[in-house]
């Protein structure tokens, strides 16, 4: 019974793009590197919104389906996996917004776009791995229902969304410890096609952290799976 429906998936990136463009582009005076600042921000918001929605949905998925878990047996892994599909649909809506904005600014897609699905997969795997940990921990410790949203709020400012990581080279090594930095830079490399070199080190860090989180998350999720129905 919503009025705007799918429009809510567009409101957040539009408002956030406007705010970040004003704060970082106008007030802070950060250089967009020859790219229209709204496009720079929107290209960074695309992977962040995908990751954020997937992580939020998967981390709360078991608690949200507690009645189903306590009554019917089925592979519990299906629940956090389904959250990735919902996040991917919202992502496609925002991607259409980006394409329209890019054409408005006179920038057409290049061959780099062909590699975009690979980096979409990295963002989803990263969210899935972290989500497995958080959803299993939330069943046992309900405090994580508040920790995850707080982490995502802080992560917006710790990730190079409103600015390019290249504008702060002295902080590059520290930024690369954030796995979303490599994903955001890779998205911008694909979408903006501004001639910037590909950040191999950043995406390598993202891949390693994603693999560790997913492998360890699957192990912990399987370990706790039998007790979910009793604890939930």
pLDDT in tens, 145-175: 889 999 999 998 889 998 887 777 778 778 8
Confidence of residue 52 (pLDDT cuts 50, 70, 90): very high
Residue 170: what pLDDT? Answer: 77
Residue 195: what pLDDT? Answer: 65
Confidence of residue 214 (pLDDT cuts 50, 70, 90): very high
User: What is the pTM (predicted TM-score) of this model?
Assistant: 0.88
Residue 139: what pLDDT? Answer: 83
Query: Would the pLDDT of 194 be above 80?
Result: no
- Sequence-distant (6+) residues with CB within 8 A of 156 are 48
Helices (H), 193-227: 200-225
> pLDDT tens-digit profile of 121-144?
999 999 999 999 999 888 888 888
Structure-token pair, residue 144: 């994580």
Angstrom distance (rounded) from CA 182 to CA 188:
10
Q: Between 215 and 93, where is the model more confident? A: 215
Q: Between 147 and 64, where is the model more confident? A: 147
Residue recorded with tokens 């389906």: 65
**Helix pair 8-20, 78-104: axis angle to 10 deg:** 60
The closest of 204, 193, 200 to 33, measured between CA atoms, is 193
| Residues 191/195/197/202 CA torsion (nearest 10 deg) | -20
Q: Mean pLDDT, to the nearest integer, of 203-232? A: 86
């Amino acid at each position: 019974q919503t009025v705007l429906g799918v429009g809510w998936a567009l409101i957040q990136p539009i408002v956030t793009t406007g705010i970040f463009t004003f704060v970082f582009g106008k007030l802070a005076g950060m250089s967009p590197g020859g790219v229209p600042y709204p496009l720079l921000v929107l290209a960074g918001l695309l992977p962040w919104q995908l990751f954020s929605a997937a992580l939020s949905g998967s981390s709360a998925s078991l608690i949200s389906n507690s009645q189903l878990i306590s009554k019917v047996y089925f592979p519990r892994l299906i629940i956090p996996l389904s959250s990735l599909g919902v996040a991917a649909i919202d992502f496609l809506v925002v991607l259409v917004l980006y394409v329209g904005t890019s054409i408005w600014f006179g920038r057409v897609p290049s061959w780099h776009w062909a590699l975009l699905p690979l980096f979409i997969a990295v963002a989803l795997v990263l969210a899935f791995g972290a989500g497995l940990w958080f959803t299993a921990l939330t069943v046992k410790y309900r405090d994580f229902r508040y920790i995850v949203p707080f982490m995502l709020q802080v992560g917006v400012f710790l990730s190079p969304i409103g600015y390019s990581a290249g504008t702060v080279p002295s902080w590059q090594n520290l930024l690369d410890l954030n796995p979303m930095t490599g994903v955001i830079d890779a998205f911008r490399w694909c979408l903006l096609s501004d001639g910037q070199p590909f950040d191999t080190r950043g995406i390598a860090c993202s891949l390693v952290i994603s693999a560790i989180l997913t492998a360890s998350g699957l192990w912990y999720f399987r370990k706790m799976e039998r007790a979910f129905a009793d604890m939930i």
